Structure 1
């Protein structure tokens, strides 16, 4: 481990208090601040997310935000952007109102392509006050929350469109953002996850990724374990699993077609892979997606 990466162990979560697995085939997760924080006595202790960006919208009440050891008290409507790998924690008033929107890395990549780089604001820690846009943001987050909780035709498309609107708003606040420079290890891990996102269906070897990053496979595994809770191979497997879940739920593709698209040599191998990670066969998951329980 390099000197810049030394320090106390910080918990890595997908969602605070949950396992390191992403709990849904959706590319985003939306909940009220109270939903999770009241379970932890209104305090979310310092932790980090390996490959997720969070947008914390304080609508009413107060919050104390800790970002990489720096504490800020928020007493007016604002959005706090929490990028991947950033150590953060929160303390809230019991009357706080607002939402936490969590975006998976594939959705960030889609936004980056659609917004011609403006999505970079979502990869930098920043506190953006709502100001005169408070009602606008209230309406936008309410729409995202309502659509997230209500199954309906074209739900996925509408959710991504609404998040795109939010990304544009944040991008326009770049002049007041507060950036946090990642460590060398964080930069390497971020580069690795981008490479995985670009070609996960090829199922390349860990050695191949390490060579491309000009580091050893052992060091890549060390970084992956520290920042994600998975080995480097596990990071690839989790991305494949997410895509498999999405294809099973949102398309009519057969298991064989999904297996082929994701680079598996045969459907039987894909089915064993899926069941090992979820406890369900692909067919069972397609009919009962809420019953999946990912295995470490």
Structure 2
């Protein structure tokens, strides 16, 4: 389905509430289910003229459509929506989470106080909560509790909790952008590391040795490999050793003991354990399986 033309997209303060901001607060907080249930779990494409929204999905599934880009989210995540971004949602009936709507001046004030760039909160972004799932759930739960109950110091607490959420968001956006814009030098370092692995994997070099050879620290190399190759340096080395072991088992008549020795294993039994740990079968079983089907 094509997204609606901009002039056809309704503009709301809160979805379904027309153009008037219904409360005196600069913040509004509610559960996802409170509003989406009324609309049969679907919030049609719309936009907000001068409001930012944080949608925290804790449990369930959300179909998120932002500016015509649609994705399905099935794990804890925070969706950030800036003003005028056309967005819509469809939720599963077991959805659990919160929606916080903030007036634009609040964001601008916080951004200036925190020394964050003007461009930081201008584009939509969906950030997976990961290990911080529990932390975010407690944070948004506290926001909802403060918003719902007229207690002493309510406004102060709302500001404090919302600011914590926004600082978390700002930091994660910065990290997200940095991960998408890896410096060219990082790619060059990874290429040099892979060249070193190729040159000496049969000796099973240590990560420390290879890091020293290419002129970086072990923590730097570890961070770089995980970010660019999605593996640790040691995993990269092990995968290259494993590839050579499979080649030898497939295309040569070398014995398993000879292959182990050629790949730097002092003990053939240790080679067998290494191979089984990475493939789920012994070298002998792998070789025997070649007669019954293709190697995967």
For residues 83 and 7 of structure 1, the distance between their equivalents in structure 2, rounded to whole angstroms, comes to 16
User: Could you tell me how far apart the structure 1 residues matched to 2:102 and 2:76 are?
Assistant: 21
Aligned to 2:79: 80
Q: Deviations over 1:82-125 (max 9, x none)?
A: 00000000000000000000001121122122211268543321
Shift of 1:136: 0.4
Tell me how far 1:42 sits from its aligned partner: 0.4
For the Cα contact (< 8 Å) 1:121–1:171, is it kept in 2?
yes
Question: How far apart are the structure 2 equivalents of 1:100 and 1:110?
Answer: 21
What secondary structure, in the 3-state scheme, does the structure 2 residue paired with 1:39 have? coil
Unaligned 5+ runs, structure 1: 1-5, 179-296
Match of 2:43 in 1: 44
User: How far 1:33 moved relative to its partner?
Assistant: 0.3
Structure 1 position 176 matched with structure 2 position 151: no
SS at structure 2 position matched to 1:71: strand
For residue 176 of structure 1, report the CA deviation from its aligned partner.
Answer: 2.2
* Distance in 1 of aligned mates of 2:92 and 2:10: 24
Count of aligned pairs: 173
Cα contact 1:58–1:98 (8 A) shared by 2: yes
SS at match of 2:108: helix
8 Å CA contact retained: 1:33, 1:98:
yes
Match of 2:90 in 1: 91
**1:167 maps to which residue?**
166
Give me the whole-angstrom Cα distance separating, in 2, the residues matched to 1:56 and 1:81. Answer: 7
CA RMSD after TM alignment:
1.7
Shift of 1:160: 0.8
TM-score (norm 1): 0.56
Q: Are positions 1:13 and 2:12 aligned together? A: yes
SS of 2:126's partner is strand
Alpha-carbon spacing, 1:61–1:83, altered in 2? closer, same or farther (3 Å): same
Q: Give unpaired runs (5+ residues) of structure 2.
A: 179-296
For 1:91 and 1:139, how far apart are their aligned partners in 2?
24
Query: Does structure 2 retain, via aligned residues, the 8 Å contact 1:29–1:103?
Result: yes
Question: What secondary structure sits across from 2:150 in the alignment?
Answer: coil
Alignment of 1:55-204 (within 5 A): 55-117=54-116, 121-174=120-173, 175-176=175-176
- Contact 1:118-1:167 within 8 A present in 2 as well: no
Tell me the SS of whatever aligns to 2:113.
helix
Match of 1:34 in 2: 33
Distance 1:23 1:59, change over 3 A: same
Q: CA deviation at 1:154?
A: 1.8
User: Structure 1 residue runs of 4+, over 2 Å off?
Assistant: 118-124, 175-178
Q: Structure 1 residues 70 and 20, CA, compared in 2 at 3 Å: closer, same or farther?
A: same
CA shift digits 1:250-283 (9 cap, x unpaired)? xxxxxxxxxxxxxxxxxxxxxxxxxxxxxxxxxx
Task: Output the TM-score relative to the length of structure 2.
Answer: 0.56
